[in-house]
Amino acid sequence: MPTPATAEPAKHSGDVSRSGLFFAIGAYGLWGILPIYFIALEPTGPFEIVAWRVLFSLVFCALLIAVTRAWRPFATLLRDRRVVLTMGLAGLLIFVNWQTYVYATLNGQVVEAALGYFINPIVTVLLGVIVLRERLNATQWVAVGISIVAVIVLAIGYGQLPWIALVLAFSFGVYGLIKKRVGPKVDAVSGLTLETAWLAPLAVVQLVFVGMTTGLTIGTAGAWHTVLLVSAGAVTAVPLLLFAAASRRLPLIYMGFIQYFAPFIQFLVGVFVLQEPMPPERWIGFGLVWLALIVLTVDLLRGVRASRRIVIEPV
């Protein structure tokens, strides 16, 4: 799931587009119900699912570029060696993210996967400090501190570090940082095309490995299962396109709020649909994470209001 940090901000920070809200809610809503989609792909395992997801995403994006006649700008990107190499690194990170997420979903750990996307904004803040040498104010440090306590509480409850949540949060946080550095030069479809093109050889190797060990399931579990598996490309690309459309129409602060739709829906799916256990220490840990997000949100709102006063007040 892309973060608002990778989005192109809306031109007018005070404008709220109804279509933008629809696109944003659609994108994050679809990302939220991804666990149900992946579970519907059983008996296919996580390695085969991710491999097909890569290959069918590449095919879907190539078709989109062909239909929209966007080959010329895409060819221009291919001539930029820095962009191509950067998207290769982004592709590797999103591959790790996808593989971890699908593994978690198929192994009854949807709640922990949701936790990863809840703490992602905190990780993004930390990456800003570590990589970009940004300075945090006192409120932001409080949010980071609360999140660290939450991870400790959850680690005690799990009996180990919530590694799935941490891998998801950090892989996606670094992915967002890389995409931000590329900037608006690479649109959503071209970006996904380049990323999956880099990953295609790895996906093929992965399919060969699965075929030689457990055996491939595509075409063996019924027509509906095959259709769902082939749809992995569209399931990957459509929310991304909705997100890109929303980011062009909505102020960044709205995208920041709506991004929590996806992990919240995933959390509900894990707890109420899949009946994953939620002992007291998990509730306490999640409560601390949500408190940290509230602190960050309050700080964000305060910053937006302060910037508006600076613009409005005469010098």
Tens-place pLDDT, residues 89-143: 999 999 999 999 999 999 999 999 999 999 988 888 888 888 877 788 888 889 8
**What digits encode the pLDDT tens for the residues 6-29?**
444 444 444 467 888 888 899 999
Q: At what angle do helices 110-118 and 280-312 cross, to 10 degrees?
A: 30
Helix (H, G, I), strand (E, B) or coil at 218: coil
Query: For the residues 142-149, what does the mean pLDDT come to?
Result: 89
Determine whether 70 is exposed, middle or buried from the number of CB atoms within 10 Å of its CB (0-12, 13-18, 19+). Answer: middle
Instruction: Identify the CA nearest to 262 among candidates 168, 153, 155, 181.
Output: 168
Q: Is the pLDDT of residue 53 over 80?
A: yes
Q: Indicate the DSSP class of residue 315.
A: -
- What pLDDT sits at residue 5? 43
* CA gap 221, 237 in Å, rounded: 24
Angle made by CA atoms 257, 258, 259, in degrees to the nearest 5: 95
Q: 50 to each of 28, 199, 227, 288, 307, how far by Cα in Å? A: 20, 10, 15, 32, 43
Query: For the residues 266-283, what does the mean pLDDT come to?
Result: 93
Selected residue with higher pLDDT from 270 and 296: 270
Percent of the chain with pLDDT over 70: 90
Selected residue with higher pLDDT from 226 and 11: 226
Q: Is the pLDDT of residue 77 over 70?
A: yes
User: Across the chain, what does the average pLDDT equal?
Assistant: 86
Q: Hey, how many other C-beta atoms are within 10 angstroms of the C-beta on 107? A: 12
Query: For the residues 158-173, what does the mean pLDDT come to?
Result: 90
* CA gap 163, 100 in Å, rounded: 10
Q: Which residues contact 184 (CB under 8 A, 6 or more apart)?
A: 8
* CA gap 247, 290 in Å, rounded: 24
